[in-house]
Structure 1
Amino acid sequence: MVRRGLLLESGPQRRLALGGFVNQLGTAAFLATAPLYALRVVGLPIGQVGLGLGVAGVVGLLAGPPVGHLADRRGPRGVFLVTLLIQAVSVLSLLFAHSFVAFMVSMAVTDLAGASGGAARGPMIRRFGGDEVPKFRSYLRSTAFLASTFGALAAGVVIQLDSGSAYRALIVVNALTFIGCAAVMLGVPKLEPLPASTGSNRWLALRDKPYMAFVLLDGILWIQGEVVTYALPLWVVLHTDAPRWFTGIALAVNTVMVVVLQIRTSRGIKGGQVAGRATRRAGLAFLVGMAVIATASGLPGWAAAAVMTVGVAIHTVGSLWHAAGSMELRFRLAPAHAQGQYSGVFGLGMGLCYTVAPGLLGLLCLSWGVPGWLVMGSVFVAAGLAMPFVVRWAGQSRELGA
């Protein structure tokens, strides 16, 4: 299985992948059921549920850069382990949340620790990935997709049971996955902080204009992840005659393609210029895929399903190129001694994109219809076309490789 690429060689890379799988398994299941837990068990009205989750998300976004800087200066493994333990405790505290404030605080601490953990994990991925960071990161993305799929299935069972005991049991299991991830990560060697350059500080990444431009463009492109999981299911139900079960087929096509093809796609994407060109191709693929999906409106059910399957496949090819290019640039543009801080800023961009995505896709793709799909695809094209120029700008102040 190692020879076929299904498993990594024994060592830090395998432990990072296994720990990430366990962590994502519980997180995916929990996030899918958290709103229902607040509604059914805590007894909050839907408005307070949305507000509590929104505030928690904003708090989480703010934690990444400073905690990433701490990981750079104190060592990433220890900081990451602390964030896992905090998440375990904060998730369990939801069992004792009986008010809006208690629910919001528990979720805010959980999101804060989660974002902090992502920033602390970044330096480990970069340093243990060695010369094969894009390939290693692609493997991590594939395993995360698998974990999310299994987590969603588990959440589906809990939602079907729809009982307080089931929701509480899932919370306990999620807490255990944080502890399990920490146990796996204890076997990862400790990394000593790298010497910082003169003038380096905790705001270095935020002052790096080329990197901030990359984060902005890349954040726009990461909205593509919500096209298949958010916009497409609603498009199928509200604007096409395709059977509703097709949404499951679309998600399956997307998941299988990512799991099977992500590592292969990343093999030739090494160096800043190559990654920039891959991102440019991704933007064009998103436009084509979204245009194909949009044409399903007005077609007979079977034809609409067939056309959207093709559109989802094209869109997923774009997501493969984008993910490979994004991960290469994320680490390539960041100085070695500040990978944690830069990972925190990168996470800030991704978090903002996921905050904006539902409203933006809802307005363009669902309210505007076919023209909106084309407008959103054009936004992806513009971001992709701009990326190589940003990479060349960044190359004026750092080494980018090929």
Structure 2
Amino acid sequence: MTFVHAIGRGAYVTAAVLYFTQSLGLGIGQVGVGLSVAGLVGMAAGPPAGHLADRYGARGAHLASLLCCALATAAFTVPAGFWGFLSAAVAVACAHNAGLATRGPLVADHGRDRPQEFRGHLRAVSNIGICLGTLPAGWAVQAGTSFAYLALVLGAAGLHLAAAAVTAFLPPTAPVPPDGGSRWIVLKDGPYAILTVLDGVMAIQFRVLTIALPLWIVLRTEAPTWLVSATMLVNTVIVGVFQTRVSRGVDSPAAAGRALRRAGFTFLLSCAALSCTAGPPVGITVAVLLLAVAVHTVGELWHAAGGFELSYTLAPPHAIGQYQGLFGMGLSAADFLGPGLVTALCLDWGRPGWFVLGALFAVTGLLVPPATRLAERLGERKVLVHPESE
């Protein structure tokens, strides 16, 4: 299920921003505003969807989110101007965030014996799928025709539909009864909310490779357009090969805090390198771009491993979906703030903006370890105990 869904996701995220601007005829500002609004609205979908997955079974809830994602993605092909684009973007964001929340209990149920390795393995599988999705995306970007982009978007929607069909064959996930306390315990967990906010700021890094970099390559450098697909390919290959290995070493909240701190400084280094790619000859630009993407991806490995560990380990067993829904709101906040922020800093401001963005990541990473210690000290929660530590 993860693999099939990721192929469609990879095709979509690689070329979506160029499809919106070059095929639908929307301006960069319209796309940035539309995706930001969609991210804001989509934030509300996670906790209720996760709660439903906890109480009524995660398999059915996740299948429904995939069906909604397929229909919403296909809606991008209906020519309806900015408001039609905005409506489809909001629907995609809601379905995506509901999918993240409902997937949490599935992952916990199937990976309970070796949670870090299982989550890392799933992310590796996901990135292999995304890597395959970049191939048709590269063809569509290079062709640059309305037909190519239309075929790409409809293909992505079809793959989401196929993932929903595969989900129906997963073993059913039993509902988890409440512990008798507050129904919405996650809303009272301040330390977990702080970590959600910090991870959300760090998650803006995902918009660097999917929004800022494609537009930077096309509009600010002399690099060929096929490099848009090549950079995504480099990213997904590195994650596919190394994510499981990196995740094995992030096996406690303290280790997760250190991983996110390293990630912040790594993103600062990659942003500094990307700022230098406007102006040099094509050969140097291509080499520096690929190297910067590789460095950025190392930070992404640490960010993903640390975020996974914090989001699952600090969640009580009877409310994993609910807690995943809240943590997913950090990603939604990144979807809301990220497009406008990275386009304003990196495209409008240029080189200084890249350094400001990198500094934001570095400072956020520094704040995660003390926030993690606060969560462990003041949380008074039931912790998911790793069998390896028993």
Counterpart CA distance in 2 for 1:243 and 1:158 is 14
Aligned partner of 2:99 in structure 1 is 117
TM alignment of 1:2-401, pairs within 5 A: 19-30=1-12, 32=15, 36=19, 55-90=37-72, 105=87, 107-158=89-140, 160=143, 162-163=145-146, 170=152, 173-202=155-184, 204-236=185-217, 246-296=227-277, 299-396=280-377, 397-398=380-381, 399=383
Counterpart CA distance in 1 for 2:28 and 2:217 is 25
Q: Which amino acid aligns with 2:269?
A: V
Whether the 8 Å CA contact 1:39–1:49 is kept in 2: the answer is no
Q: Which amino acid aligns with 2:125?
A: T
Aligned partner of 1:15 in structure 2 is none
Counterpart CA distance in 1 for 2:229 and 2:207 is 15
Q: Which amino acid aligns with 1:26?
A: G
Q: Which amino acid aligns with 1:353?
A: A
Cα RMSD of the aligned pairs, angstroms, is 3.4
TM-score by length of 1: 0.80
Q: Which amino acid aligns with 1:364?
A: L
Counterpart CA distance in 2 for 1:241 and 1:39 is 18
Q: SS state of the match for residue 325, structure 2? A: helix
Counterparts in 2 of 1:195 and 1:313: CA distance versus 1, 3 Å? same
Counterparts in 2 of 1:245 and 1:156: CA distance versus 1, 3 Å? closer
TM-superposed deviation, 1:308: 4.1
CA-to-aligned-CA distance 1:162-199 (integer Å, 9 cap, x gap): 356x6665555444433322332223222222232332
Extract unaligned runs of 5+ from structure 2: none
Q: Which amino acid aligns with 2:122?
A: L
TM-superposed deviation, 1:301: 4.4
TM-score by length of 2: 0.83
TM-superposed deviation, 1:327: 0.9
Whether the 8 Å CA contact 1:196–1:337 is kept in 2: the answer is yes
Counterpart CA distance in 1 for 2:255 and 2:231 is 30
Number of equivalenced pairs = 381
Counterpart CA distance in 2 for 1:178 and 1:125 is 18
Counterparts in 2 of 1:194 and 1:147: CA distance versus 1, 3 Å? same
Whether the 8 Å CA contact 2:273–2:292 is kept in 1: the answer is yes
| Percent of paired sites with the same residue | 43
CA-to-aligned-CA distance 1:26-64 (integer Å, 9 cap, x gap): 2443564598489968x9999887776655444332111
Counterpart CA distance in 2 for 1:55 and 1:213 is 23
Counterparts in 2 of 1:368 and 1:345: CA distance versus 1, 3 Å? same
Q: Which amino acid aligns with 1:82?
A: A
Whether the 8 Å CA contact 1:193–1:337 is kept in 2: the answer is no
